[in-house]
Structure 1
């Protein structure tokens, strides 16, 4: 069962990493020990002694997107494309992010298509943009809007389509506990925005 959410609004403005005071590694590890004790376990037992260090290290990787600039990967474009002006689609980009409400993962795939205006970007760069934004605390709606805004603002394509499909562990592990439910979010700009035919073309290509 799919829940479809359209994201027409701009993403919320958030403070930059530079504006926030980052706690020390020691403070982060102490916080993990507090959570372990709150959950009902003993942080001093053998199996948990190194857990705070492991969690802090894992968080550095899982949330590394806060310290990367997605625009850097969209700066270089290629104009020598033999006059190609049709749709460019990169589909099935895997991603994993974390819900900002429960800090539980949501995992899925992203599909990105655009009509070039003055050039194209390296295909791997679109995947890197997805990775950078997904490695932050997110909602799927905001993640969709951020990816679209970055690509649209940098490439200025004639049209852009972004679709994310994901399963949220905050729905499967807790709460209503409904495994197998996927959420779909979309963002369209330019020729895709008000053109049902272009949106249908995009969906047809995504579905293969």
Structure 2
């Protein structure tokens, strides 16, 4: 089995400084509203800092989750099945670590079992662990692959992600509808062009 690529965000995320209190986080949102030219005391915004902090708890819940725990339960009774298992069109929402605006896309994940499989719902949950953090698409792609390869111990893993980045659609070049595609392979998929082609064919229903 090939050595894991080192990805500092996979299960090793550390908050370098003391985490601010909820009140401090709400005060920070209030400051941003003032900076944007708004009046945080007007009726429509008076509770916005609380709402934003609550929304952030959900949108960035990946920092509190562990792919290792999610993939901790596997099934050994697979009746000799060792062909690829593909879960495609997994919707996800993330946030660009450069501008903190949404990344909206879908992930396609396949693995080749080595005597054990994992519940199908666990794969989308692993995608969410890494998506619900400040991210780049490249990092999400690598981290999902590394986590599956490390904790599920399959013969191979393939991950392809297609996403639209609001940092391109809402600001900067302002190109709406542009899609970014990233793909990475581990183990038996790594240098096997035929396996990679079959992976893409399964995604595209070819």
For 1:20 and 1:110, the matched residues in 2 are separated by 32
Number of aligned residue pairs: give it: 200
Contact 1:64 1:136 in 2 (8 A): yes
Contact 2:107 2:159 in 1 (8 A): yes
With structure 2 as the length reference, what TM-score do the two structures score?
0.93
- Whether 1:80 and 2:77 are equivalent positions in the alignment is yes
Post-superposition CA distance 1:44-86 (Å, at most 9, x none): 1111100000001000100011111111110111111111111
Match of 1:66 among 42, 46, 63: 63
More helix by share: 1
Higher RCO, Cα 8 Å, sep 6+ = 1
Q: CA RMSD in A?
A: 1.4
- Whether 1:203 and 2:192 are equivalent positions in the alignment is no
Match of 1:120 among 117, 124, 141: 117
- Whether 1:12 and 2:3 are equivalent positions in the alignment is no
Residue 9 of structure 1 deviates from its aligned partner by: 5.7
Q: Secondary structure at the match of 1:184?
A: strand
Structure 2 unaligned residues grouped into runs of 5+? none
Aligned counterparts, 1:47-58, within 5 A: 47-58=44-55
Post-superposition CA distance 1:114-151 (Å, at most 9, x none): 11012000110011000111111001111111111110
For 2:116 and 2:67, the matched residues in 1 are separated by 18
For 2:38 and 2:137, the matched residues in 1 are separated by 32
Aligned counterparts, 1:120-199, within 5 A: 120-199=117-196
Runs of 4 or more, structure 1, over 2 Å off, are: 8-15
Q: Secondary structure at the match of 1:80?
A: coil
- Counterpart position of 1:34: 31
For 2:145 and 2:59, the matched residues in 1 are separated by 21
Contact 1:10 1:145 in 2 (8 A): no
For 1:82 and 1:188, the matched residues in 2 are separated by 26
Post-superposition CA distance 1:75-110 (Å, at most 9, x none): 111111111111110001100000000000001001
Post-superposition CA distance 1:134-172 (Å, at most 9, x none): 111001111111111110001111111011110000000
With structure 1 as the length reference, what TM-score do the two structures score?
0.92
Contact 2:157 2:186 in 1 (8 A): yes
